[in-house]
Amino acid sequence: MADYDVVLHGAGGFTGRQTVEYFARHAPPGLRWAVAGSNRARLESALAAAAAPHVDALVADSRDQASVDAVVRRARVLLSTAGPFARWGTPVVDACVRFGTHHVNITGEAPWVRDLVARYHDRAAADGTRIVPCCGFDSVPSDLGAFLVARHAQRALGTSCTEVRAYVRLKGGLNGGTLASLYQMIESGSWRAMRDRFLLDPPGTDHDRGIVRRSRDLAHPERDELIDAWVAPFVMAAVNTRVVRRSAALFAQWDEPYGDAFVYREAQRFGRGTGGRVGAWLLTATLGAFLGVVRMRPARALVASLLPKPGSGPSERTMNEGWFTCELVGLTEDGRRLRGTIRHRGDPGNRATVRFVCESALALALDLERLPGGPTRGGVLTPATAFGDVLADRLRAAGVEIRIGDQAASGGKS
C-alpha cells in the first residue's frame, strides 16, 4: 500500500504553492497527501503559508532519478506543476509508469505529450496506469466541453455530433512558468511539430481530406456564422484542438465515438460589430508580433527579461479578478445545434488551472472505480478519456459553471 494518496510535485513553485493551498482547503479528511520538489526550504514555506505544517515535505529533484523514484513509489497519484515539462517532466512520468503511479500535470507542451505517447502509452495501457497531461486551463475546458456536448447529443437527443466549436473569452495575467514552456519549445525546435493538426492522434489514425480541411487552424480573423460574431486565433487552440482530437480518436478506438467524421475547432470570440472586428484583428496582429519576436534569440532574451520569470506570476488581485467563458456549439448529424457553457471566476492560467488539476488528481485518488473504462483503463490519456463525467461533477461541486443542453450559451464574465 502506498504511503500517500496524492503527492504534489513542484509544490515550491508559483503554481505549485497554489495547489498546496487548494489541498489544504479542499482535501477531504483522511486523504493522505504530501508535497515534493527540489528545494526543501521552499516546500516548507509553501506548507507554512497554507497552514499545513503537518503535511510531509519530500525532496524529489528531476535531475536525480533516484530521488524521483523514491517519492513516486510512495504515491498512488502524483500531481506535477514542475515545468517546463520537456525539461523536467520526463523523469517523473518515467517513474510513474514504472511504479504504476497515476499522474496528472498542467503542461501545454503538445510535442512533449506526443513523445510521452510514443514512449509510454502502450506500457501504461497494459498496466492500467493513467498518465494524464494537459489538466489545466490547457486543456480541460476544451476537452471536457467537447466530450459533454457530444455525449449529451447521444444520450439526450439520440444523435451524434459531426462538429463541436469552442469560443473563448478570458481575462487574466501571465505566468512565468507558461512563458518558460513557450521559450523551451521554441529553443528546442519542437514548436514546428505543432503544424500537425493531428499531432496527438494514436498511430495509424486515418483522416479523409474533408476532415483535414475542416480541422484547419484559424490563421486570421473571420466572422463565424454559428454565433454571428467575429473570432480570432486563440493562443492555446493549437494545443487544445490536438488534445480534443486525441480524445475523439481514443474513444473511437474503444467503440465509443463522438460521431462519424467528427471535427473540433476553437477560436477567441469578439463582438458582432465594428468593435469586434477591430478587436479580433488587433489581437491577431499582437499575437503574431509577439511570436515573431520570441522566435529570434536576441529578442527572446530581451522579452524574457521584461516578462514574469519562472516561479512568479500575476498578483493576487489580478488572479482574483480574472475569468474565462468557453462557449460550445455542437452540430448534430440530424441538423440540430447544441449549445453549452463552461465558465470560471478567477484567473484562467492560475486559479482555474489549479482547480482543474487538483480535482483531476482527487478524481484519481477517490473516484477510480467510477472513471471511464473502469479502474483498469490506462495509457497516456486526456482529461476527457481519463475522467469524463466524473470530473465534470467534481468541477460543478467546486464552483465551476457547466451548462450543456439546448439553452443558448452566452459569453461574458458574470
Query: pLDDT per residue over 200-258, tens digit each?
Result: 999 988 888 889 999 999 999 999 999 999 999 999 999 999 999 999 999 999 999 99
pLDDT at res. 313? 87
More confident residue, 410 or 320: 320
| Element (DSSP H or E) covering residue 79 | strand 75-80
Percent above pLDDT 90 for the chain: 82
DSSP secondary-structure letter at 84?
Answer: -
**How would residue 155 be classed by pLDDT, with cut points 50, 70 and 90?**
very high
CB 108 within 8 A of CB 183: no
- Of 166, 180, 105, 170, nearest in space to 356 by CA: 105
Cα(3)–Cα(56) distance, integer angstroms: 11
**Checking DSSP bridges between strand 222-224 and strand 161-171, what pairing results, if any?**
unpaired
* Mean pLDDT taken over the chain: 93
Answer for the pair 211, 263: CB distance below 8 angstroms, yes or no: yes
pLDDT given for residue 406 in this prediction: 58
pLDDT of residue 183: 80
- Taking residues 157-173, report their average pLDDT: 95
pTM, full prediction: 0.94
The predicted structure's pLDDT at residue 301: 82
Whether 184 has a pLDDT exceeding 90, the answer reads no
Q: Per-residue pLDDT for 409 more than 60?
A: no
Span 156-175, average pLDDT: 94
**Three cell numbers, residue 398:** 467546486
Burial of 219 (0-12, 13-18, 19+ CB in 10 A): exposed
Is pLDDT above 70 for 414? no
Q: What is the mean pLDDT of residues 113-124?
A: 98
17 or 311, greater pLDDT: 17
Is residue 306's pLDDT more than 80?
no
Tell me, rounded to whole angstroms, the distance of Cα 395 from its chain centroid. Answer: 14
Q: pLDDT tens for residues 364-394?
A: 999 999 999 999 999 999 999 999 999 999 9
| Domains, the chain, with CATH or none | 4-137+352-394 (3.40.50.720), 140-348+400-405 (3.30.360)
pLDDT computed for residue 102 by the predictor: 98
pLDDT exceeds 70 at position 407: no
pLDDT exceeds 90 at position 124: yes
Cα 368 to its chain centre, rounded Å, is: 20
Checking if the pLDDT of 412 tops 70, the result is no
- pLDDT in the model for residue 355: 98
Q: Which helix (H) or strand (E) holds 57?
A: strand 56-59
The CA-to-CA distance between both ends of the chain, in Å, stands at: 45
Residue 274 half-sphere exposure, CB side, CA atoms within 13 Å? 0
- pLDDT tens, residue by residue, 105-115: 999 999 999 99
Does the N-terminal peptide bond of residue 139 adopt cis geometry, omega within 30 degrees of 0?
Answer: yes
In this predicted structure, the answer to whether residue 408 has a pLDDT above a threshold of 70 is: no
**pLDDT confidence of residue 299:** 81
pLDDT band at 411 (very low <50, low <70, confident <90, very high): very low
Asked whether the bond before 298 is cis by omega within 30 degrees of 0, the reply is no
Nearest to 330 by CA among 100, 163, 132, 92: 163
What is the mean pLDDT of the segment spanning 409-413?
Answer: 36
Percentage with pLDDT > 70 across the chain: 98
